Structures are given as structure tokens and as C-alpha cells.
Amino acid sequence: MNLREKKWSFSSVKLFEQCPYAFYLKYVEGQTEKPNAFAMVGSLVHSILERYFKGELYAFELADVFEREYPTAVTERFPFFNMYKAFYGKSLDYLQNFDGIDGKIVGVEEKLETKFGDYDFIGYADLILRDDTGLVIVDHKSHSAFKNQKERDEYFRQLYLYAECVKRKYGEYPHKVVFNMFRIPKMEEDFFSADKCKDSVDWFTKSVSKILSCKDWDCKIDSWYCEKLCGLECCYGDF
């Protein structure tokens, strides 16, 4: 792949930060990333919530759909049984008690494209709402609680990049950006910050510039990530 013609997503840039070699295998060599159970559960819940907000499912149906589709949607095994219980049980509990998210629906799984500096950006907002104050961007996430403020800020860059896209598309910034962390469950909210939005765009352009000038695609060896999460055929994946 010619990286200079690439449309960049938050996840692609974050992958480079996680492991430059994994980025190289996926986006330069073109390896297909193998799925894992964590991502599969997240994708299933995303799909169910997407169908709900598009009016294709009622709230009382969500848990039943999750139980019915789980065996075919989640075909990989979790490393440990307690992880299976945490992901399956807590996701099911969230859907059994789901009663919607307040606001008028503006967009569901909405494609957002723009240019930041010299680089094309693409993303998909899980949900855009309008409440009494203004626009709200919501992203459904299977993540557990953020470990610290640094990790929280790093993840919120995604939503601030979306916020800039929304401004260019709808003419206004959201007044709030939210991670719907459904396994906890918790709505992790940030009231819009112009400084954080600018910092996120700056991070994106500097990161892409760094990737394009990269010569040494080092593997950041991490036993948990390499063995359990990285779905690419790296020689460090077996410990």
C-alpha cells in the first residue's frame, strides 16, 4: 500500500503507537488481521446497538438477539474463562437493562471524512444525537475503565477528531463527546474543549508525518498484546 494515498483513521494511527511493526504488517504488507474474542464481542454489541438506533430492533429485543447471535458472531475463544464471563455476562446484562440514550438521533454509524493538514481522515461515528443543549457524539466501547488520565486523554482524541469533522459537516461543534462503556457500564463524558480538539488534530497530523518518515518498524514486544490481542503474523507472537 502507498501510505501517501491512505485515508487515515484514528485506529490506524493508534496501532502505530501501539506497535510500529504491527502497523507495518497490516498497512504496508497488507496482512489480514486475525479476529479475537474481545473484538468480536465488541462488534456484536455495536451491531445490535446500531440496529436499535436505526429503528430495526426494540429495546426489549436486544438481549435475546445477543444470545441468539453470539455463537456465530464470536467464534474465537477467550484466553481465560473469567474473561468470557466478564465479556459475555456484562454485555448481556447491559442489553437486558438498556433503555436508550437521551437525544434526537442525527446520525448512526455516520461516515466522517475530512482533511487535516495534508492528510485524509476517515472515521465512523457510532451515534450522533441532539439534546436540549446541542450535538452529542457517542462511541460504544467494550473497554474496561481507563487505567489513568493519560489513557483517557489518548482515547478521547478519537472523539475530538470526530468533533472537528462534525463541525465541518454540520456547522457546529458537539457540546459533549461520550464513550458508552457498556461493560462497566458507564457513560464517560467530556464537555467539549476547543483546546483538546486542536491538540487532537495536531497529534493526528504529527503522527501521520512520523509514520510516513518511519524507516525502522520496531516491534514493541508486550507478551499480553502480542499473544492475546495482536492478530498479525509476527514472529514475536508466540511466548
Q: How many CB atoms lie within 10 A of CB 233?
A: 12
Residues 6+ apart with CB under 8 A from 9: 121, 122, 123
- What pTM does this model have? 0.93
Closest by alpha carbon to 184, among 61, 93, 101? 93
What's the whole-number mean pLDDT along residues 202-213? 98
The predicted-structure confidence for 179-194, as pLDDT tens digits, reads as follows 999 999 999 999 999 9
What one-letter code names the amino acid at 65?
Answer: V
Cell of 72: 456465530
What confidence tier does 236 reach under pLDDT thresholds 50, 70, 90?
Answer: low
**Mean of the per-residue pLDDT values for the chain?**
93
The predicted-structure confidence for 85-128, as pLDDT tens digits, reads as follows 999 999 999 999 999 999 999 999 999 999 999 999 999 999 99
What confidence tier does 225 reach under pLDDT thresholds 50, 70, 90?
Answer: confident
What confidence tier does 219 reach under pLDDT thresholds 50, 70, 90?
Answer: confident
Higher pLDDT, 231 or 52: 52
